Structure 1
């Protein structure tokens, strides 16, 4: 089975559509959505509806911190720009969409894989995996051989041997990486809707569980339309500007 991994869409319709189209072209059999469907962008209603449709068709979806914030109110760690976007987003969503977001699980285990937004050891605490220390802690918290996370807007792959040796590397887009089950793996596909690694192209990844490979992808999308929508909605202009630089 080929599983497309998409995360941190952040209400960016154009980026989400581009990722879904490319995933289809690459033969994805199923989709896993790793949270943060809303926040920052100007199309939260469309994105949530699309996520609902995909879940009804068998997609996996987990809760992100921005999804939780729009339902429960922003936590103390969200910056002012994010808070403004969350307040605006809440006004754009229907009661049904808010209920859908509030019902999303923090983590899902399926076919020996773990899907979570932030980490495996405390998924509702929203701690970032910024290096090997956090990655090890997360991998120690699950028996799954493959963990897929969002939250960090930069693609990264960690692996741990049976002896506990940890390594990491930044993947090259389009190059299949062997991810055999005799090691433990933690993969961060990067953000579809707001990349922060200096490359504005949307991120997604494909896990092939038959071949035990993981391929990270980048796909360009209509940045001009996306950023214009953000400005037109009255959201902070900085949220539009940063998309062009990928930061």
Structure 2
């Protein structure tokens, strides 16, 4: 069994399609999506349609919550609030009511058996919040919320921070998938994680996939994505830096 774990697509269809091609090429049979599917990219509906076609496990991220009900004061820096509210309004206009219902009803956590003896527990940000941030440099005490929430799991995975990493913690493994559509680690390639059970032991592999960044930037122009966010997103696509 090969499980592809992807997160933070953020409406970047070019990156997402490249990842799906890579998943197919390596023979992954299962896919799970850890949220932030549509918001903050040029192709919100197209990315959601691709996710729904996967027939895999899907959970909600904060950006999925935002599309449905809006971006509230205090959830983002004050200087970014109006810009992100304009982005949210634009993205919501691209969706059908069925799309919004689907996003609203997504669960916030998922458990996936990797073998008879090995379990994965995944969420978008933390087990009890779509918005809280646990950084890649957090101390072990902050990660204990994962083991306190689900003691049975051997692996814990999340997205949200757009920085891929693996850490050993209390004989468990904590994994961040990085981001398909908006990586922040200086590597502009799309990021996801593969669990491979084809050998005796489960192997965890971080995958990086090149895609046509300039075509994604063109998509932002062609769809009339709101400014000034359009230029901010182009910079992330090209340089993989946190805004």
TM-score range, shorter chain: 0.7 to 0.9
Aligned to 2:116: none
Q: How many residues align?
A: 221
- Residues in 1 aligned to 2:129 and 2:173: alpha-carbon distance in whole angstroms: 17
CA contact (8 A) 2:42 2:225 kept: no
CA contact (8 A) 1:228 1:240 kept: no
Aligned to 1:127: 132
- Residues in 2 aligned to 1:19 and 1:158: alpha-carbon distance in whole angstroms: 24
- Residues in 1 aligned to 2:187 and 2:122: alpha-carbon distance in whole angstroms: 25
For normalisation by structure 2, the TM-score amounts to 0.86
Aligned to 1:60: 57
Gaps spanning 5+ residues in structure 1: where?
Answer: 162-182
- Residues in 2 aligned to 1:137 and 1:24: alpha-carbon distance in whole angstroms: 34
Match of 1:138 among 146, 151, 166: 146
Which secondary structure does the structure 1 equivalent of 2:11 belong to?
A: coil
Gaps spanning 5+ residues in structure 2: where?
Answer: 114-118
After superposition, where does 1:1-247 map in structure 2 within 5 Å? 1-55=1-55, 59-75=56-72, 76-78=74-76, 79-80=80-81, 81-111=83-113, 112-120=119-127, 122-124=128-130, 126-130=131-135, 131-132=138-139, 133-143=141-151, 144-161=153-170, 183-209=171-197, 211-232=201-222, 233-235=224-226, 236=229, 237-247=231-241
- Displacement of 1:107 in angstroms is 0.5
- Residues in 2 aligned to 1:229 and 1:119: alpha-carbon distance in whole angstroms: 32
- Displacement of 1:84 in angstroms is 2.4
Which secondary structure does the structure 1 equivalent of 2:15 belong to?
A: helix
- Displacement of 1:226 in angstroms is 0.7
Which secondary structure does the structure 1 equivalent of 2:232 belong to?
A: helix
Q: Select between 135-144 and 152-161 the one with higher mean Cα deviation.
A: 135-144
Measured against aligned partners, the alpha-carbon deviations of 1:15-55 in whole angstroms (never above 9, x if no partner) come to: 00111111111110100101000111000010111111113
Which secondary structure does the structure 2 equivalent of 1:192 belong to?
A: coil
Measured against aligned partners, the alpha-carbon deviations of 1:100-158 in whole angstroms (never above 9, x if no partner) come to: 101110011121211210112x134x211112342233233212111110101010112
Q: Select between 12-21 and 130-139 the one with higher mean Cα deviation.
A: 130-139
Which secondary structure does the structure 2 equivalent of 1:18 belong to?
A: helix
- Displacement of 1:217 in angstroms is 0.9
- Displacement of 1:205 in angstroms is 1.0
- Residues in 2 aligned to 1:23 and 1:128: alpha-carbon distance in whole angstroms: 28
**What's the RMSD between the two structures over aligned residues?**
1.4
Which secondary structure does the structure 1 equivalent of 2:161 belong to?
A: coil
CA contact (8 A) 1:227 1:241 kept: no
For normalisation by structure 1, the TM-score amounts to 0.85
